[in-house]
A and B are shown apart, each in its own frame.
Chain A
Amino acid sequence: MFTNQRAGSPYRTVNNYPHPISSDASHETPDSSVDEIERLFRVEAPRIERSLVVAFFKPDLAAEAVSEAFAQLIRRGGEVRSPSRWVWSAAFAIARGLGQSDVTLYADPPDEPVLDDEPAFELRSALKTLSPKQREAIVLHHYAGFGLSDIAKVTGSSVGALKVHLARARQRMRVQLMEAKA
């Protein structure tokens, strides 16, 4: 389970991970591994970032979290058995960690309205009415395609709790989208 660090910087300094371009060749991440991660980035990073954007409604934080997550993945190299799932989890955990210094992250989203000329206006407007946990759950499930057990690992929640999150989120979104169409 990933838990956020509340006080101080969300970063810690570590020296025990291989450096991809270190002068010490014995600690390098193999070029092939970096190439694979780059391919993974091309496939997953946009979806992760978009998921973070609509989960937290903080675009800058989303891009930051994605960049950091992939940076960590590069550093960990072959230590990560399932890079795709790992980087999703890391990005969400980092986003939460970055947002911990901002008390509004877990309160309401920023007050700026979703503009009607923005992509997916109605969907984003409906998502904005959800609570943060509901947004995380429904975005990871319906957009990212995660199963409940995987979402539980990403969010540090339980499957039972997620079911409730999803049910409430769907219910609220249904109302919001119907009102929007009306």
Chain B
Amino acid sequence: MNVNWNELDEIPVSASWEDSLRRSQTLAVPDVDGPVSRERRRAAPLVLVAAAVALVAGFAVRQSDGDSYAVVEAAADFEASAAELREVGAMAVAGGVVWLAPVDPVASGRLAAGLDIATGEVVSTSQLLNQQRPLLVLSASFEWVAGVDSTGRVAWWRADAEGALEARVVDAGAVAVELDSGSDVAWLLLDSGDIGELNLVTGDLNIQVPAEAPVTAIAVARDGELWGVTEHGVLSRGLDRILDFESEPLGLIAAGEDGVVVILADGGDDGQFRFVSPSNESYEGFGANGTARAWASTEQGPVVVQETGAVVWIVSPGSLEAGVGTIARLPDGLQGSAAPAEAVVVTHPSGQTLLVVIDTDGSPVAVALEDL
């Protein structure tokens, strides 16, 4: 690239020596060497909790009177609706509704399809938000759903079977969002394609966390701790650097029970998982011969869906003895050419735990975990 950087010398300037001399006579000096203290950073999540309470306060978890689940029966309708999406960018569950967002630029910003878990009905297939790009990441907690589009714009909206009730949009430069149902904190991962910064934002708070590499995934554990992993394999818990997996790619991360994080060391190699316990020990060996493509957290631990359609249920992450609890295959729909793209776990009013998986073509499959 032949760039003549001296062209920049043509830019006019306006700073004057006299101005500097005049300023030097005052007592106000910029604090150029006053880093945010570690203590202040550590206190920040507590502030975030307080701030985020305002975000969700007053909105109770939606309760349904339904006594049977019709997800599987409704799959045909759901699939017909999802097929209009061409490609699903993100998936999340809130208020008893599984929400999908399309990548299709024609439907940019559309929270395109929702599936009411209690009734099995497809709802709100054309709810538009004031977004200009496809939503690529969704996260949900209670009735709130948050999404990030390809320009970093973030939208929060309160959604139920009637659709999006209200929305708030922030131009934040985000690449991911994680709503933490445990502490009512909305975590945003801000990176904007940069490296070296993991910004956690809720409201107008902004905390910079040094990461020194693009952060590829974040997850919030049940104890409220935020975990992040960079593409270079550095795992951080909160603001502390925990482990460096050197160059091993870490594609997925999920928070499990008791603050334990399950890392799926992937990248198309061996499909193995690694568990990192709160005492910072690393374990591995739960190979399942397949690349993990989607996952969801359950009360019993993460459920991982591999590209082959196999479902791996890790009964108790962090417990070596528990290991992989169940390995099964999804019954239909995910064993063809399309690969699993997203997975969510929904507790049906009947008490059954449903795993809803959608593939890269937008086709859904819903199964009761108890049946696996």
Contacts and interface: CB of A to CB of B under 8 A. Distances in A.
Interface of A: 1-3, 5-6, 10-15, 17, 19-21, 34, 38, 41-42, 45-47, 49-51, 53-54, 59, 62-64, 66-72, 74-75, 89-90, 93-94, 97, 103-104, 106-108, 119-120, 123-124, 131-134, 142-143, 157-158, 160-161, 164-165, 168, 170, 173-174, 177
Nearest to A172: B193
Given A131-B193, A158-B212, A177-B1, A107 B172 contact: yes
Contact of B29 (A12, A42, A89, A106): A12
Given A6-B36, A131-B194, A123 B3 contact: yes
B48 to A, nearest CB: 13
Contacts of A168: 193
A62 B12 CA distance: 11
Q: Top 6 nearest A-B pairs by Cβ distance? A: A119-B10, A3-B35, A71-B23, A70-B20, A120-B7, A74-B24
Given A12-B31, A93-B30, A161-B196, 14 more contacts: A5-B34, A10-B30, A11-B30, A21-B25, A53-B11, A74-B24, A90-B30, A94-B30, A94-B32, A119-B7, A142-B3, A158-B196, A161-B195, A161-B212
Contacts of B196: 133, 157-158, 161
B8 A72 contact: no
B59 interface: no
A55 B192 CA distance: 16
Given A3-B36, A123-B7, A170-B1, A71 B21 contact: yes
B253 to A, nearest CB: 21
Nearest to A51: B8
Nearest to A20: B24
Contacts of B195: 133, 161, 164-165
A12 B33 CA distance: 11
A107 B152 CA distance: 9
A50 B204 CA distance: 30
Contacts of B14: 49, 59, 63
A67 B13 contact: no
A3 B34 contact: yes
B211 to A, nearest CB: 9
A15 B28 CA distance: 9
Nearest to B36: A3
A67 B16 contact: yes
Given A46-B13, A93-B32, A106 B25 contact: no
B301 interface: no
Given A41-B17, A49-B14, A161-B195, A108 B173 contact: yes
Contact of A45 (B5, B13, B22, B26): B13
B325 to A, nearest CB: 40
A53 B11 CA distance: 9
Given A107-B172, A119-B7, A123-B7, A71 B194 contact: no
Given A3-B35, A72-B29, A134-B194, A120 B10 contact: yes
